[in-house]
Amino acid sequence: MTIIPAIDIINGKCVRLSQGDYASKTEYADDPLAIAKQFAAYGLDRLHLVDLDGAKASRVMNWDTLEIIAKETNLSIDFSGGIKSREDVDKALKLGAAFVSIGSMAVKQPELVKEWIDEFGPDKFIIGADIKNSIIMIHGWLTETEMRWKDLLERYIPWGIERFFCTDISKDGLLQGPAVELYHEMLKTFPTIKLIASGGVSRLNDLEELKSIGCDAAIVGKAIYEKQISLSELKLFNSGC
């Protein structure tokens, strides 16, 4: 199982939210590049980079952060937040993103997203399901939809998408453990997907449990910044995978 550290950006700074609440943000660092270099120095080769400004504004706001991290590190970056057009996808990939993560648009305009998938290839996309009380939330977790995670996956798997990330918003940022039962149900229902767990990881045992149920990767954010899991521990865990 791959460990994917997270950097969430608001006003050019590394922050974390609790349960998707922008009013509850905690700032951890002024320099996202320095944090990304720390991750790379400890042998972590992936990065979950989220433009929270872009997610809220419905347009990408932090292209420069993506560009400099891609240029200055060898991290394989999945980028999200405010991607709304074919041009956005193209720009993200040209600036160095390995994957573009699509959440709101995957729910609202699936046929447009399918055009992107057909043009750029399904291997360039991660489809995201941000869930609260079984319902998918969009626009930076601010807007409730009528779609459930099963419907989303049933739509995108036939279009060649293998990678999906799922955040249980009720768990995110609380350091109370991930939504293991939800992920287990998703993997039982769709055993061929590469599921990326997100939200709630607070200790190495959480990662062991996610690995044991078959998650392909796990995003770790606040636990790193709050020093509940060290980068040294994550390096050892990665080497054991």
pLDDT of 140 strictly over 80:
no
pLDDT of residue 175: 63
Q: Percent of the chain having pLDDT more than 90?
A: 70
The mean pLDDT value of the chain amounts to 91
Range of weakest confidence among 8-22, 71-85, 183-197:
8-22
Domain count, the chain: 1
**Extended strands (E) in the chain:** 2-10, 13-18, 21-29, 46-51, 76-80, 99-102, 125-132, 135-138, 143-148, 163-168, 194-198, 217-220
pLDDT single digits (tens) 69-116:
999 999 999 999 999 999 999 999 999 999 999 988 999 999 999 999
pLDDT of 233 strictly over 90:
yes
More confident position, 20 or 103:
103
Range of weakest confidence among 34-43, 54-63, 105-114, 232-241:
232-241
pLDDT single digits (tens) 112-132:
999 999 999 999 999 998 888
Yes or no: say if 12 and 66 are a contact pair by the CB < 8 Å rule.
no
Which of the residues 51, 88, 130, 206 is marked catalytic?
130
Task: Clarify whether 130 is annotated catalytic.
Answer: yes
Per the structure, the complete domain to which residue 102 belongs is given by 2-240
pLDDT of 141 strictly over 70:
no
- CATH code, domain with 58: 3.20.20.70
Token couple for 50: 């989220």
Which of the residues 8, 168, 172, 216 is marked catalytic?
8
Q: In angstroms, rounded to a whole number, what is the distance separating the alpha carbons of residues 199 and 159?
A: 26
